[in-house]
A and B are shown apart, each in its own frame.
Chain A
Amino acid sequence: MLGAATKRSAAGEGEPAKADQPTGATPTEPATKATRGAKTIEVRDVDLYYGDFHAVEGVTMTIAPNKVTALIGSSGCGKTTFLRSLNRMHELTPRARVDGHVSLDGEDIYGKGVDPVEVRRLIGMVFQQPNPFPTMSIYDNVAAGLNLNSSRVPKSRKDEVVERALRGAHLWEEVKDRLGKPGSSLSGGQQQRLCIARATAVEPEVLLMDEPCSALDPLATLAIEDLISELKNRYTIVIVTHNMQQAARASDVTAFFNLDATGKPGHLVEVGATDRMFTNPTEKQTEDYVSGRFG
């Protein structure tokens, strides 16, 4: 699907992540209602750079399908950078570089001949600020990905996909009578659900979310969290959040990133089942962070 997987060398010289065994990071309850192509992301010895700046060091973890994995840590610890490396958005920044392996169900997403655009279709992203295309209608916002990925989608098929995506994002009932109105006419919470509908319309296998609720009010936040817990039945979800209660509420697995000092690379300190991470973490750094002792 991604083209020939080519092994890349792990050039990073950083320490391996001091984390649970990846298998231990995956809660043991059976995946519920896993009906479609949610996939496992394997991350091995990933180092991320912006030019000479070593931003993230030696991350190794397994991101389980049909689970919500939350990435937490203080500002500058590299969690967003790491998230962006999972669908090859990191490399869009000039002089940004990735070392190590990231694979989607065994296929190297950085392999030779792999099309980064196809990677980003399979691994969608929802951003901090809801960013619907402001001049496009609600309908066209959702259909935008389809138009980009394939020029000849029949109207009837497009209607079907738009409705399904909007229903999946719990937005259909609110917008079905005004699909021609601009996306920017919606409230912040609706816009974010519109962006989720846009991301899911192209049928990805993974959804990456970068602080998807930080610009939303508490009610809209809870609506998105409910949606996330429903979406995990169909997708692998990775969410970056500064809101620890959100990580505690909305995720199954939590990964804590930290950095030893400003200017040093961020690294994965500990990853594990969310209930354990918030009641009895193994590492003192994790304990201090989740308890609000620093950060």
Chain B
Amino acid sequence: MPEIARSEYLEELATLEASALGGLDLVDIALARTMEAVENQDVELAQVVIADDDRIDGRYLEVHQSLITLLATQSPVATDLRLISALLHVLKSIERMGDQCVNVCKVIPLTGNYAPVDPRMIELIVKMGGHTKTLIMQAKRAFEERDVEMARDLVRRDDAVDALNRECFHLALEIGDDTDRREWAMTMLLAARAIERVGDNAVDIGEQVAFVVTGLFREFEDASHPS
């Protein structure tokens, strides 16, 4: 059989994949800055993260549009079709991850420039950020290498993030009756929750890896029917 490479189309698809997954590097930077801003109560750095989210949104819009054009003009099927479908999901997850970093950064000015009420809460959130960074990079590698086992392992790592989030909640419960302290704790809980969602988005990307490889979409964990 003569090989017809469709080389331009395939190159473009590969470029778009790299560009979409490159969005995870942008999220990685945003998350690192967010954690630094949380740790140091750095309102200015938080503003930088908020402004920089336009880059993540821009990446989303640009790659999304190019993928739609490929669908319209190249009639992709089989693995190519699954890859494009997965990339559209991945892009959405990346855009959400960026938004969650923005959500965290928006609450930093609310806590003011004072020392944190309970440094343990800050430690927990920064620890969550560290785990989540690992999740993001592992999701990217699993997608690039089409490694379903590595993708499934994201669930295990995400459990650690969830556990830390619960610890934050318990700390908040014990924060005391003072209104200012309670307000601070609730604000920080919102930040912890946002980071926890970033971890969930990384797991969502892992599920798309499994879809590209196997053709079957299944949630690794069903939140509405936990096993």
Partners in one complex: yes
User: For residue B214, which residues in chain A have a CB less than 8 angstroms away from its CB?
Assistant: 280
Chain B CB within 8 A of A129 CB: no
Contact A258 B1 (CB under 8 A): yes
User: For residue A290, which residues in chain B have a CB less than 8 angstroms away from its CB?
Assistant: 77-78
Contact B78 A294 (CB under 8 A): no
Q: Restricting to A244-267, which residues have a CB under 8 Å from any CB of B?
A: 244-245, 248, 258-259, 261
Chain B CB within 8 A of A281 CB: yes
Shortest distance between the CB of A283 and any CB in chain B (Å): 11
Out of B4, B5, B78, which one reaches A278, CB within 8 Å? Answer: B78
Shortest distance between the CB of B135 and any CB in chain A (Å): 28
Chain A at the B interface: mostly helix, strand, loop or mixed? mixed
Shortest distance between the CB of B205 and any CB in chain A (Å): 20
Residue of A nearest to B5 (CB): A293
Residue of B nearest to A245 (CB): B75
Out of A245, A279, A292, which one reaches B82, CB within 8 Å? Answer: A279
User: For residue B6, which residues in chain A have a CB less than 8 angstroms away from its CB?
Assistant: 291-293
Contact A287 B78 (CB under 8 A): yes
A-B contact count (CB 8 A): 45
User: For residue B81, which residues in chain A have a CB less than 8 angstroms away from its CB?
Assistant: 278-279
Chain B CB within 8 A of A128 CB: no
Chain B CB within 8 A of A131 CB: no
Shortest distance between the CB of A137 and any CB in chain B (Å): 41
Given A279-B82, A280-B82, also A294-B77 (CB < 8 A): no
Contact A294 B1 (CB under 8 A): yes
Contact B3 A291 (CB under 8 A): no
Q: Provide a sorted-by-A list of 21 A–B residue pairs whose CB atoms are within 8 angstroms.
A: A245-B75, A248-B77, A258-B1, A259-B1, A261-B1, A278-B77, A279-B77, A279-B78, A279-B82, A280-B214, A290-B77, A291-B76, A291-B79, A291-B80, A292-B6, A293-B3, A293-B4, A293-B5, A293-B6, A294-B2, A295-B4
Chain B residues within 8 Å of A, Cβ to Cβ? 1-6, 9, 75-82, 214-215
